[in-house]
Amino acid sequence: MSNKRKFWTFHGGVHPEFQKEQSTTQPISPIKLPKRLIIPVQQHIGAPTEVLVSTGDTVYKGQLIAKMADGQLGAPIHAPSSGMIGKIEKQTVPSASALNALCIELELDGKDDWGESQLEPYPDFARIDNETLVKRIEEAGLVGLGGAAFPSHVKIGSSAKHGIETLVINAAECEPYISCDDLLMRERTDELITGIRILLQLLKPQQCLVGIEDNKPEAISTMQRATKSLDNVHICAIPTLYPSGGEKQLIKILTGKEVPTGGIPLDLNVLCHNVATSYALYKAVVKGEPLISRILTITGDGVKQPQNIEALIGTPISDLIAQVGGYTSQAQRLIMGGPMMGIPLKNDNSPMVKASNCFLVASITSLQQAHSIHASQPQMPCIRCGQCMQVCPAKLLPQQLYWHTQAKDFERVTEHNLNSCIECGCCDFVCPSHIPLVSYFRFAKSEIRAQDVAVKKSDLSRERHDFLEFRKEREKQERDEKRQKHKEALQKKKAAMAAKKKATGEKEADDPKAAAIKAALARAKAKKTERARKKD
C-alpha cells in the first residue's frame, strides 16, 4: 500500500535513453484479425509440442492444436482464432539462432468462433482448489510473458508446494522503448489485479511486492488506487535504472536478497512473475481463455504510429506493422524486444510468439543516441578502463572476461564466472572502445557449452572404449582360465592314467591278455626278420 518502503540497490546499471513516450500516447489498440497465422509449435523453454491437427482440418478458436508429451517440460498451444489448418512445415521464427522451426499455418475464416473450445470459466475462483487452478494454468498454455517464456504451471506448481514468503510482480519494464506493461497496468488494472489475487490464493505469500520503475507515474498511481483494499500487496515505485527488471536484480531491489549463483528465486522463498503473466492468468482462470493473444509494443521511428496493440499469437510481423500504419523511411532495423537485449530480425515474415513483448523498428542513428557508435566508430583495443566493471549488475569483470575470451582461455573465463553473466548489455553500452562485449561472451558461453558436450562425449567414448578393453581382457582371461583348467584337467587325467599304468605295470605278468599280446608281437617280429633273411 505505502510506497515508503526501503529499497536496496544492485551493483552497476546504466541509464539509456528510455524513449517510452513514443508508444504511450495512444490506448491499447484492439485485436485485428489477420488473414493467416503462423504458429510455432514451440514457444516456451522446454521440449517442442506434438501437433494434433493436420492440413485441411477446421479448428475453433481456443482449440488445442499441439500438446506436450507426458512428463515433458512445456506448454500446449491453442488456435488463436477459428479457421482451417494450412501447411505444417518449418518456417523462420523470431529467435536468436535464426533457425527454422516447425510451424502450423492457420487460415482464418474471420468468424473468430469459439465453438465448444472455451474452457470452463471460474469467475468465482476462490472456491476452486489449488490443484484445479494449476491444472488450468497448464491446459491454458501459460508461459512467462516477460521474455523467457518458462511454463507457468511448473513455476507456480512447485512454489505452491514449497510455500513462499514473497511474491514479486515484475512490472519494472526497464528495457528502453517497451511500454506494454505500462499500458496494461493503466488500462487493464482490475483484470491483472484479479490475476495477482489468484496468485495470492495459490501461493499464500506473506507479502506481494509489485516493482514498477518510477518513470511510469500513471501506472503507479492507478495500481496504488486499485490495490488499496489488498493489505499485503505493495506497489513499489523503484528508481529507474536498467536492468532493474532483471529477475535477480528486481528481487535484490525489493527484498535485499541475492538469488544464489546457479540457484532460483525459490531458494529464497521468493517467486517472481511478470505483470503480463498475471493478466493472462486472469483470462485463463476467470474467462476460461487459453493464452492466444497478448499486448505488445510496436515502436521506433521506423513505424508511422508507434503504439501498443493486442494481437493474436502467430500474427505475422508484417501485419502488426501494417496495423500501426506501416514503415517510415527510417526503418533500418527490426528488433524483437528492446534495444539492450532484443533479438535482431532479418525480415518481417516471421510471426509474433508468446514471448514477443515488443517489435522495435528504428533507424540506426536514433538507436545509437545521435552518434552511430558501432556503425561508424571502429572497435578499438580494450584499455582496461573498468567502466564495464562499474556497470555490471552481476559484479563481473568484463574486461578480464574479454581478455581471456580473446585468448580462448575458456578455463579462465569460467573461473571469472562467465555463467553469472545475464547478457544485459550494460558493458557494451558504456565501453569507450566500442567492443561488442556481450557478443564475445555469448561466443564464449557457446564454446564452453560445446566443449562441455565434447568432453562429455569423449568421456563417454573413453568409458566405452575402456569397457571394451576391459571386456576383451576379461574374455581373454576367462578363455585362458578355461584353457588352463582344461589343461590341468587333462594333465590330471594323464597323471592319473600314468599312475594307473604304473600301478598296473607291476601286475603285467599276471595279466594273461597282456602276455598274449606280447607273445603275438614277438611272433610277428620273428616272422618279419625271417622274411627279410629270405629276401637276401
Partner 1 sequence: MEFKTDNSPFTGSTSNIGSVMRQVLYALIPGVLVMFYFYGWGVLINIVLAIIIAVSFEVLSLWLRKRPIKPFLADYSAIVTACLFALSIPPLAPWWILMVGLFFAIVIAKHLYGGLGYNPFNPAMVGFAVLIVSFPLEMTQWIRPEFSNGLMPSLTDSLRIVFNGFESLYSLNQWDAVTMATPLDDMKTELKSGHYFSEVIRTNGYGFVSGKAWELVSLAYLGGGLWLLYKGIINWRIPVSLLLTLAIVAIIVGWLEPDTKQSSLFHLFSGATMLGAFFIATDPVSASTTPRGQLFYGASIGFFIYVIRTWGNYPDAVAFSVLIMNMSVPMIDYFTQPRVFGAKSGGK
Segment 277 to 336, residues that bind partner 1, using CB under 8 A = 327, 331-335
The stretch near partner 1 (CB under 8 A) out of 29-37, 193-201, 290-298, 373-381 is 373-381
The binder of partner 1 chosen from 32, 135, 304, 374 (CB under 8 A): 374
Q: How far is the CB of 213 from partner 1 (least distance, A)?
A: 17
3-state secondary structure of 390: helix
Of 73-92, which residues contact partner 1 (CB under 8 A)?
Answer: none
Region for 217 from its dihedrals, namely left if φ exceeds 0, alpha if ψ lies in -120 to 50, beta otherwise: alpha
Q: How far is the CB of 348 from partner 1 (least distance, A)?
A: 6
Q: Does residue 373 belong to the site contacting partner 1 (CB under 8 A)?
A: yes
* Binding footprint of partner 1, residue count (CB under 8 A): 75
Q: Does residue 209 belong to the site contacting partner 1 (CB under 8 A)?
A: no
The single-letter code of the amino acid at 172 is A
Q: Based on CB atoms, which residue is closest to partner 1, 237 or 303? A: 303
Q: Based on CB atoms, which residue is closest to partner 1, 185 or 431? A: 431
Q: Does residue 229 belong to the site contacting partner 1 (CB under 8 A)?
A: no
Q: Does residue 416 belong to the site contacting partner 1 (CB under 8 A)?
A: yes
Q: Does residue 232 belong to the site contacting partner 1 (CB under 8 A)?
A: no
**C-beta separation of 355 from 143 below 8 A:** yes
The stretch near partner 1 (CB under 8 A) out of 43-51, 135-143, 232-240, 259-267 is 259-267
Q: Does residue 255 belong to the site contacting partner 1 (CB under 8 A)?
A: no
* 259: Cβ contacts below 8 Å, ≥ 6 apart: 247, 248, 251, 252, 265, 267, 268, 270
Q: How far apart are CA 153 and CA 137, in angstroms?
A: 6
Q: How far apart are CA 383 and CA 63, in angstroms?
A: 58
Q: How far apart are CA 302 and CA 304, in angstroms?
A: 7
Q: Does residue 528 belong to the site contacting partner 1 (CB under 8 A)?
A: no
Nearest to 170, CA basis, from 270, 243, 81, 276 = 276
- For residue 506, CA distances in Å to 497, 499, 502, 509 come to 15, 11, 7, 7
Q: How far is the CB of 332 from partner 1 (least distance, A)?
A: 6
Q: How far is the CB of 254 from partner 1 (least distance, A)?
A: 15
The binder of partner 1 chosen from 84, 266, 364, 514 (CB under 8 A): 364
3-state secondary structure of 131: helix
Q: Tell me how crowded residue 378 is: count the other CB atoms within 10 A of its CB.
A: 7
Q: Based on CB atoms, which residue is closest to partner 1, 380 or 526? A: 380
Nearest to 353, CA basis, from 320, 393, 396 = 320
Name the phi and psi angles at 425, rounded to 5.
Answer: 90, 5
Q: Does residue 383 belong to the site contacting partner 1 (CB under 8 A)?
A: yes
Q: Does residue 265 belong to the site contacting partner 1 (CB under 8 A)?
A: no
The single-letter code of the amino acid at 15 is H
Kindly provide the b/e burial profile for residues 12-23, where b requires at least 16 CB atoms within 10 angstroms of the residue's own CB: bbbebebbbebb
- For residue 486, CA distances in Å to 251, 476, 489, 494, 496 come to 75, 15, 5, 12, 15
Q: Does residue 382 belong to the site contacting partner 1 (CB under 8 A)?
A: yes
Q: Based on CB atoms, which residue is closest to partner 1, 65 or 336? A: 336
Of 189-208, which residues contact partner 1 (CB under 8 A)?
Answer: none
The binder of partner 1 chosen from 1, 7, 11, 36 (CB under 8 A): 11
Q: Does residue 378 belong to the site contacting partner 1 (CB under 8 A)?
A: yes
Q: Does residue 393 belong to the site contacting partner 1 (CB under 8 A)?
A: yes
Of 12-31, which residues contact partner 1 (CB under 8 A)?
Answer: 14, 16-17
Q: Does residue 384 belong to the site contacting partner 1 (CB under 8 A)?
A: yes
**C-beta separation of 241 from 424 below 8 A:** no
Surface-to-core class of residue 417, CB atoms within 10 Å of its CB (0-12 exposed, 13-18 middle, 19+ buried): middle
**C-beta separation of 333 from 320 below 8 A:** no
Q: How far is the CB of 313 from partner 1 (least distance, A)?
A: 22
448 beta partners:
none
Q: How far is the CB of 147 from partner 1 (least distance, A)?
A: 12
Q: Does residue 98 belong to the site contacting partner 1 (CB under 8 A)?
A: yes
Q: Based on CB atoms, which residue is closest to partner 1, 286 or 373? A: 373
Q: Based on CB atoms, which residue is closest to partner 1, 141 or 342? A: 342
The binder of partner 1 chosen from 54, 56, 161, 370 (CB under 8 A): 370
Helix (H) or strand (E) run with residue 196 in it: helix 189-203
Sign of CA dihedral 272, 274, 279, 280: negative
Q: Does residue 239 belong to the site contacting partner 1 (CB under 8 A)?
A: no
Of 123-182, which residues contact partner 1 (CB under 8 A)?
Answer: 176
Nearest to 318, CA basis, from 362, 356, 351 = 351
Q: Based on CB atoms, which residue is closest to partner 1, 281 or 389? A: 389
Q: How far is the CB of 353 from partner 1 (least distance, A)?
A: 18
Q: How far is the CB of 346 from partner 1 (least distance, A)?
A: 5
- For residue 337, CA distances in Å to 25, 168, 180, 298 come to 20, 22, 11, 10
The stretch near partner 1 (CB under 8 A) out of 279-287, 291-299, 415-423, 448-456 is 415-423
**C-beta separation of 188 from 279 below 8 A:** yes
* 399: Cβ contacts below 8 Å, ≥ 6 apart: 382, 384, 385, 386, 388, 389
Of 419-438, which residues contact partner 1 (CB under 8 A)?
Answer: 420, 423, 425, 428-434, 436, 438
The stretch near partner 1 (CB under 8 A) out of 28-36, 109-117, 185-193, 360-368 is 360-368
Q: Does residue 344 belong to the site contacting partner 1 (CB under 8 A)?
A: yes
Q: Based on CB atoms, which residue is closest to partner 1, 371 or 528? A: 371
Q: Does residue 256 belong to the site contacting partner 1 (CB under 8 A)?
A: no
Q: How far is the CB of 12 from partner 1 (least distance, A)?
A: 9
Q: How far apart are CA 397 and CA 413, in angstroms?
A: 10
